[in-house]
Homo-oligomer: A and B are copies of this chain.
Amino acid sequence: MSSQKLSNSVQRIQSSAIRDLLKHSKMEGVISLGGGIPNPDLFDTEGLRIAMDRALTQDGHNAFQYGLSEGDPLLREAICRISADRGIDCTPDDVVITSGSQQSLDIIARALINPGDVVVVERPTYLAALQVFQLAEAQFKSVGTDGEGMIVDELEELVKQTAIKAVYIVPTFGNPSGVTLSDARRQQLVALAKQYDFLIFEDDPYSEINFTSQTFRPLKSHAQAMGASDQVIYTSTFSKILAPGARVGWITMPGWLKSSVVNLKQATDLHTSALSQSLTRHYLDTGRLPEQIKLIRAAYKQKCDALCVALETELGDRLHFYRPLGGMFLWATFKEAFNTTEWLKTTLSNGVVYVPGEFFYCDNPDTSTLRISYASVSETNLVLAAQRLKASLPQ
């Protein structure tokens, strides 16, 4: 008996090279700029305890019993209120609760992608999204990004020549790129989707972590204003603002997709943990989320500022980067030819790790890039990390 029994689709995602690369990141004295995890020191432990207490007291058996595949109706109502604040008009019927954004993407891919369908991603794009589209046997095309996010003109050239099924995009405070799609490009993208009849998978985990006073209107909101609402499938999550371990996210989708997504959710895991949903709903009811988001914004902004200054000071002549307007990631590119995967051995021995950029491409990786996550690192360590990176440079 051996791997000859494995399905073709799982063989597409056999290796997880990053995991091997980052296995040293928890070593004593190593500063990790690698993992994309929220800072646990900012968890609202007190609020979460209050919420859990209410969940167990007020929801009785419901927190422990089987529930609806589409999710708790009261939580879906609360999500509609959050959505309204973001400029998205929806009702609980448009929303399905998932076990986090990763599951949202997997369900969307399974609902919509046939083998060979073309999915367009950003260069660079979110690694785990590539995995789910690979599982669905999508064919990838990619479009470059700059300081204003995806270069939509480049997409336009592509869709003139090739029929595409969908564009997958993290438009706001992107992972890994750290950049944000400009408003003009948002409208341009939605107009293209309408004209060329493709779907937009809008992945929005980070938009609440905004370092600016600007608002960044979701593509879904633009689409509603532009008569293209049927074209945009929107996903978001509580992972980055509340508690990733609870695994609660959601999909907001057009009516034509709803029953397929619910059927898939049911076939996939019946429903998202009732306990996690109950916790989330009661936390929202405490009214503490806005303060919690303010706290996260301020803390991450401070870290991001410290990182940018340190990088500029230590490596400004060698590295180029766009200053993030929010989120958890900074993307840097060496100004000369460079291989950040090979360099990692040196930086590790100097006590700092990051994620080499090449893993975030579906093709033709730019090896001179790296992703830096600052969310869980102290300012002191961010400065120290920049110094260690400098010390690791080839002379």
The chain A residues found within 8 Å of chain B, CB to CB, are 1-3, 5-11, 13-14, 16, 37-38, 40, 43, 45, 48-49, 52, 56, 60-67, 98-100, 102-103, 106, 110-114, 128, 131-132, 135-136, 165, 197, 199, 230-231, 239, 243-247, 254, 256-257, 259-260, 263-264, 266-276, 279
Complex: how many Å from CA A112 to CA B1? 13
Question: Could you tell me if B247 and A111 are in contact, using CB atoms closer than 8 angstroms?
Answer: no
Complex contacts, A131 vs chain B, CB 8 Å: 263, 266-267
Q: Which residues of B contact A257 (CB under 8 A)?
A: 5-6
Contact A99 B99 (CB under 8 A): yes
A275 in contact with B99 (CB, 8 Å): no
Q: 9 nearest interchain CB pairs?
A: A245-B274, A64-B243, A1-B230, A40-B61, A103-B269, A273-B273, A99-B269, A131-B267, A64-B245
Do B260 and A6 have beta carbons less than 8 Å apart? Answer: yes
In chain B, what residue has the closest Cβ to A254? B1
Which residues of chain B come closer than 8 Å to A243, judged between CB atoms? Answer: 64-65, 275
Closest Cβ neighbor of A194 among chain B residues: B1
Given the contacts A64-B244, A65-B244, A269 and B106 also touching, CB distance less than 8 Å: yes
Nearest residue (CB) in B for A117 is: B7
Known A-B contacts A64-B243, A65-B245; A7 and B136 likewise in contact (beta carbons under 8 Å) = yes
Given contacts A52-B56, A135-B267, A247-B271, 7 further A-B contacts (CB under 8 A): A5-B256, A6-B260, A37-B65, A100-B270, A102-B269, A106-B269, A131-B266
Chain B residues lying within 8 Å of A2, measured Cβ to Cβ, are 256
